[in-house]
Amino acid sequence: MMLSVRIQQEVLDYLRKLPPQPRHALRLAIKNLARERGDIRPLVEDLEGFHRLRVGSHRVIFEYEMLDGLRVITCVFAGTRRWVYEVFQSRLRE
């Protein structure tokens, strides 16, 4: 069963700034999220409830939601492995 995937503006802005090759790889990986395919892991501790999709050195943070009775994946944040978790965590605290 395919899920609906929503991409928040912040993730789209991140994708736009990338060179063509990683942008294409990330777009393809996000598209495959609809079938829950890819290097997906649940996050732990302060980020529990969120999941990450790994695409090379990039990470997309997403969550599962119920909207109108349907299970939806919402991509909420993206960045490089080096800083994505710290920045996302600080945003959650705001």
18-65 per-position pLDDT tens digit: 999 999 999 999 999 999 999 999 999 999 999 999 999 999 999 999
- Number of independent structural domains in the chain: 1
pLDDT, tens digit, 9 for 90 and up, residues 64-82: 999 888 999 999 999 999 9
Could you tell me the residue range of the domain that residue 8 belongs to?
A: 4-93
Q: Residue 75's pLDDT is what? A: 98
Q: What is the pTM of this model?
A: 0.93
Q: Residue 69's pLDDT is what? A: 87
Would you say residue 1 has pLDDT above 80? no
- What's the CATH number where 26 sits? 3.30.2310.20
Three-state DSSP class for residue 59? strand
Contacts 24+ apart (CB under 8 A), 79-83: 79/14, 81/54, 81/57, 82/57
